[in-house]
Every structure is written in structure tokens, then in C-alpha cells.
Amino acid sequence: MSKDNVDLICDIGELAGLFERTQSLSDFLQKVVSIIAYHMKAAVCSVYLFDDETQEVVLRATQGLNPDFVGKTRLKLGEGIVGQALAEFRAIREAKGSQNPHFKLIQGLQEEQYNAFLAAPLVRGLTRVGVITVQDPVPNYFSENDEKALRAIAAQLASTIENAKLLMNLHSTTAYAGGKAPVVEGELKFVKGGVASGGLAYGRAAIMGHLDIHEFSQAKSAHSMADFERALAKTENQLEDLQRQLAERMADVASLIFNAHLLMLKDSEFSGMMMRRIKSGLTPAAAVIEVVNQYVNLFAASTNALLREKTQDVKDLGHRILHNLFEKDMGTADYEGHVVIARSLLPSDIVKLVVQRAAGLVLGGGGGITSHVAILARSLQLPMVVVRDPRILDVPENTMILMDGDQGNVMVNPAAEVVKKYDSLKEARHRAEELEADVQPATATRDGVRVRLLANINLLSDLKVAKRLKAEGVGLYRSELPFIVRNDFPSEEEQYRIYRTLVEEMAGKEVVFRTLDIGGDKMLSYFPNINEANPFLGLRAIRFSLRHKDIFTQQLRALLRAGAGSHIRIMFPLVASVDDFVQARSIVAECANSLRAEGIAFCADAELGVMIELPSAVEIADELAQEADFLCIGTNDLIQYILAVDRTNEQIADLYVPYHPAVLRSLKRIAAAAEKHSTDLSICGDMATDTRIIPFLLGIGIRVLSLDSMRIPRVQKRIAELNITECRKTASALVAMSRLSEIEAFLQKGR
């Protein structure tokens, strides 16, 4: 019997459509099993969720089995075919499920009549979420293509189902009263905070706050159940609109922010609890306040970091519902030119502040520097500092505030000389912006030698600046950013959409994707904590990917799919040996063969390169240049590993010297190896923007620089002043020097 093709089945991954057709979490899961059963033409489809505390999988939705067993059927991890699939992180397909040695018959579940059995684990990275199963009376009913299709479905649904699972687990959590922030005495003049979003801001303070929930509780309310339902519907429409708007602007991170809001809104234990309390006699406002406060306590008390982070989501929902219930205007404040101070912040507020042209944001008492609001602030270029000193919240309105988002400094009523320094910095930035008009589409030295300037891209929102400043392509896409900013591993489908957008936006231009580079100072909050004495020398970058092939494979498949019809480059970070590269290349080949067998379009001629960041890679640069399609020098890590200087350690910052003789000679050696084998070579990192060292880089033969887009005007101007013959002489002279003092004097003279 024919079944729908994989592409059609994978369409259920469009979660926004599922949200709009469901009324609760249970309804959502039921809709999932119904759609899968329909597309797979299977008699049975079920979803089991993993209970982290009991280490059991629990039946949460089913079509075809006894519905009375939902919530009651439990299997230990490794028990039954379902438990085995999740324990081993693999799909299991059986012609007759009862013949599998792990099969467990549960009396009353009514699965005796079904033979064919197919189970696919729901996994977010290395986190177990649950299992999707399909069953049918016909033996050997499910094919290899069906197995691939169900795996694809599981990958797409894992993120949203994980959110659903977290909310379901909340319902049995007990309340908790959190502690208070420390009180600091004395007048506040200066406070050191955490850097959340870079930039400078100077303006009058504006204390931002939603209408206090206490005001709603004191307000006289004559609202009815119909008013409450109208407020819920309006809230849902607002969230869906925000999700769509942000998805257009920042598809790589922001499109997921409101998923949790929508799931919660549809949760029968959230809005349903409010309705029940209204029916028992509470006013709608009082019911909203009680339930919101209960959930805030539940989230805050949870031992699960993901749940604690959702405290802001439930506050957002509560305020939105109340605003809509009382029909209050949510956008009357005007923050143009102000430094906004807030106790806590909602993701939607960031967009509001940017639209109203706020100068900067100081967040006191809520949210960490890795929270969604900080990521949004960075993406929208809103300077932001997070401070713990509670006195910042008592600063009077219209007090002059100077904040430095690059350093995390906040100054209250700063002295005139401090403001003057700020003005000079601001003027320098303004002059840099004026250079944009003079940026040429092609960069060349004074004697006409072409040098290509490519952009480093962190988030898709960076593309706008890159294109405006005429970057000739993307020399480094840091693919770990969508991993770092989320609460779990993005699925293959989520990654594909991000990478595809990047390819389409830079149509016809070079795009270099660096595979996942985590570890060192870039950790994943949701990944099991690895206690490493020195994480910079630990399980990071390509080592992590090769150790966790399932995660690596998902990324590579997404990259190859995104490159269909185009030409892309894939670069492996922190390669220490030829073996590292060859092993990674073989996994790319496996992914290509798999996509070809599945009939999925992909880039069959993607070029594979090495990022040289280790002394060991410098020693074998000749062999790497032979094996790889291209090389890229990652100077930031290369310098710290050559000099044994942790670049994040402020105590030894002065020892991190880019022009150290060992560094310069290493760069020369790499460039010579690339030239010998006619292998493309580029350089990225801070050295690519150091105008003192650019002559040396050009002198050793480097012709491609990858840098932050905002640096392009200055670097292009510097290159236009240079002559290649003189650059070669400079390079020869610097490589021959052995003392830092000698090199410093030479560079100072050449400025």
C-alpha cells in the first residue's frame, strides 16, 4: 500500500499551523498522532514522553489504542520496544512487534491485534524527550522509507513536544517563594554590570514597567467570562503576529521565542484553571492574577533550568491577558533617546523599544545575559547591560545615564569629562558610519592587487549590514550561535531553514559555514555539564562533533540540503590532524549518500575546508593544504594556543600579542603551504582588522580577509593605501625579527 512521500509527511513540521488548530497541549499531541496516522496510513499512532525523574516513558496521546491508558501506561527506559528505542537513541522497525525480544504486552492497551511496529525516538541533541510509534495489523507493513519519514517527523516535532512535556510536568510541581536580592547602601554613581548587547548610550532615564499586577487586582472589575475569552483570543492573535513578524526578521532565533507562550496559552492547566476559578466566583482579573502567580512560583522553584527560564514567559502572558481584558493601550510610552531601566523585560518589549528608538537598556533584577531578551537586543543592535545592584531601579526619571554596553558600565549623572569622552567615542563611530557611502564593491591595493573582504556572520540579522557594506560574501558563518541562544539543540529542519536563508540572501556569493564550535568560552546551557579543568583544551569544536556523530550528522545534512542549487563551503574548526579532517570528510560523504538515497536535493560539490587554529595544524599545514579544498586561519584561537595565553583571562591580557614572532612565522608557514598546493587561503579573527598588521598579511600572500561587517570601510581604506611590493618587504622584515620590542617599534613606525 502506497503512503505519502517524505516531503508531504514532513509538512507537519510547520508548527504554526498546528498551533492554530489546537486548543490545549493534550489537543496538540492528539492532533500530532492523528496527522501522522493519516499520512502514514497506519492504524495506530502514539506519543510517549520521557519522565526525567522516574526514568520512564509515559503514554500521552494515541490514536488506535485504548485512550483510557493515556497517562497510565509507563515503561522503564530500555523496557519494551518503546523504551529500547529511546534508551539507544535509534528507530526500531519490526515486521511483527511481538517477535522482538523487548516487546512487552500491556493488558488492556489493545495492541494484540497489531503486528507491524515502528518506533522513532524524540531527541533534542542528547536529551531524551520521548518516542513516536506507529502500528498496523499487516505484518511488515512499514518500509525503510517509512522509517526515514518517521525519523524526520520526530526531529521536527521534538522541540515543541519538549515544551509541551515541560509544561505537563509542571502540573505536579509544588510552589516556592524565592529569595530577595541583596540591598546595597549608599548613593549610586557607577555600577559594573554584565555585557548583554554592545554599544554606547547616553540619555535621560526612563523607568519602564508594565502596569503593576497589583493595580489590576485593586481595579474594580465587572468583566464576564465572555470578556475573558475575548482577551484570550486577542492575546493569542497578538502572539501569533509577533511570532510571524520576528520570524521574518530573525528566523534563526526569534521565531521560536513565542512557541512557549502559545503552548502555555493553550494549556488547559493554565487558561483552563483561570476559567474554572471564574466559574467558582472570582473575577476574571483575580483569576488571571492567582493562576499567573502560581505558575511564576512553580517555574521559579523548578530544578529544571529550562523551566526557570520560562518565568518571563508566564509573566508576559499574564500581563498581556490583563491588558487585553482591561483594553489598555500597550504601546503609549515613547522612549526615543532615553536609556530605559527595567526590573525585568519581556521579549516583545525589545521590539517595542527598538521601534520607539530607545538609546539603550539597563536591566536590573531580571534575566541573565544569555536570556532571549539579551539575544534580541544584540540582534536589533540595542545596547544593553544587566546589573544586580537593586539601587538602579530607584534612579529618578530623567536622570542622565551613560552606559557602555561593550564594557558593562553604567554611570549615573556622569561628570562632564566622562560625557566628553563618550561624545568623542560616539563621534568616531559616526565618522565610521559616514565611510559607508565610500565603500567600493571591490577592494584593491594602490597598485591594483585584488583583496576580497568577506563578512563574519553570527545571526541572520547581520546580513543586512554585510550587504549594505558590500561584503563580497560570507567568509565565516558561526553556526554555533543558533545552538547557544536556544534552550535545546535545533533540529535538522530548523537548521536547514536558517542555512537556506543565508544561502538565498547571499545568492551568487561565497558562503563558508563553520560547523559547530562549542566548548572553551562557548558552552551550551542545555548540554550535560562536562567538568573540565581547562575547557579550552577539552571537548570542543570538531572534537565534540566527531564524538557526537548524531548531532554532527544532523548539521551536515542541513548544510548540504541548504546548498542545493548553489555552491557552498563547509569548514571544520580546531582540526588537530589530517585524520580529523579525513574523518569529518567521510561523515559528509555518508550524509550525501543518505540524502541521495532519500531523493532529497542537496549540494553535491560542497567544498570542505580546515580552520587552522592549533600549533599542530601549523606543523602539518602542507599536508592539510593537499587534502582540503581550502584553508582558513582562525587567528584568535591560534594566538592563544601558540602563546599559551587564555584570551578570556584579564590577568594576562597583556601577554596576548598578535605580532609575536612565533605567530607571524606560523602565519607565513601556512601561507607558503597554501601557495605551494594552490589551495585557497583566508584569515579571520581580530588580526584581519588590525591595520598595523594588514600589510604583513598581504605581504605573505593572503588575499581574503573575513571580518565583522562594520570594519569593512576602515579595512578597505587601509588596503587602498598599500603597495604589494612594499608589503612583501614588510613581511620579510617582520619574520626576521625575534624580539617583541623590535617588532613593536617597526609597527609603530609604519602606522
10 noted as active-site residue: no
Within 10 angstroms of residue 676's Cβ, the number of other Cβ atoms is 12
Q: How many CA atoms lie within 13 Å of 632's alpha carbon, on the beta-carbon side?
A: 30
Cα distance between residue 461 and residue 501, in whole Å:
11
Place of cell 502500528: 135
How far is the CA of 529 from the CAs of 277, 523, 695, in angstroms?
Answer: 42, 9, 43
Q: Which of 223, 372, 632, 727 is catalytic?
A: 372
User: What is the β-pairing status of strands 630-634 and 607-612?
Assistant: parallel
Q: How many CA atoms lie within 13 Å of 188's alpha carbon, on the beta-carbon side?
A: 23
Closest CA to 29 of 150, 157, 166: 157
Q: Which of 603, 632, 684, 727 is catalytic?
A: 684
Cα distance between residue 50 and residue 31, in whole Å:
19
Cα distance between residue 569 and residue 107, in whole Å:
55
The grid cell for 322 is 490583563
Q: How many CA atoms lie within 13 Å of 305's alpha carbon, on the beta-carbon side?
A: 13
Q: Which helix (H) or strand (E) holds 453?
A: strand 450-457
Q: Which helix (H) or strand (E) holds 106?
A: none
Cα distance between residue 137 and residue 29, in whole Å:
23
The grid cell for 290 is 492567582
In terms of C-beta density within 10 A (0-12 exposed, 13-18 middle, 19 or more buried), how is residue 726 classed?
middle
Place of cell 548613593: 187
The grid cell for 632 is 582558513
372 noted as active-site residue: yes
Cα distance between residue 76 and residue 546, in whole Å:
30
The answer to whether the beta carbons of residues 375 and 351 sit under 8 Å apart is no
Closest CA to 719 of 746, 687, 744, 695: 695
Q: Tell me the CA end-to-end span of the chain in Å, nearest whole number.
A: 75
> Could you say which DSSP state residue 415 is in?
-
644-670 burial, b at 16+ Cβ within 10 Å, e below that, comes to ebbbeeeeeeeebebbbbebbbbbbbb
The answer to whether the beta carbons of residues 475 and 532 sit under 8 Å apart is no
The answer to whether the beta carbons of residues 613 and 643 sit under 8 Å apart is no
How far is the CA of 632 from the CAs of 265, 296, 570, 670, in angstroms?
Answer: 47, 48, 11, 10
Active site residues: 372, 684
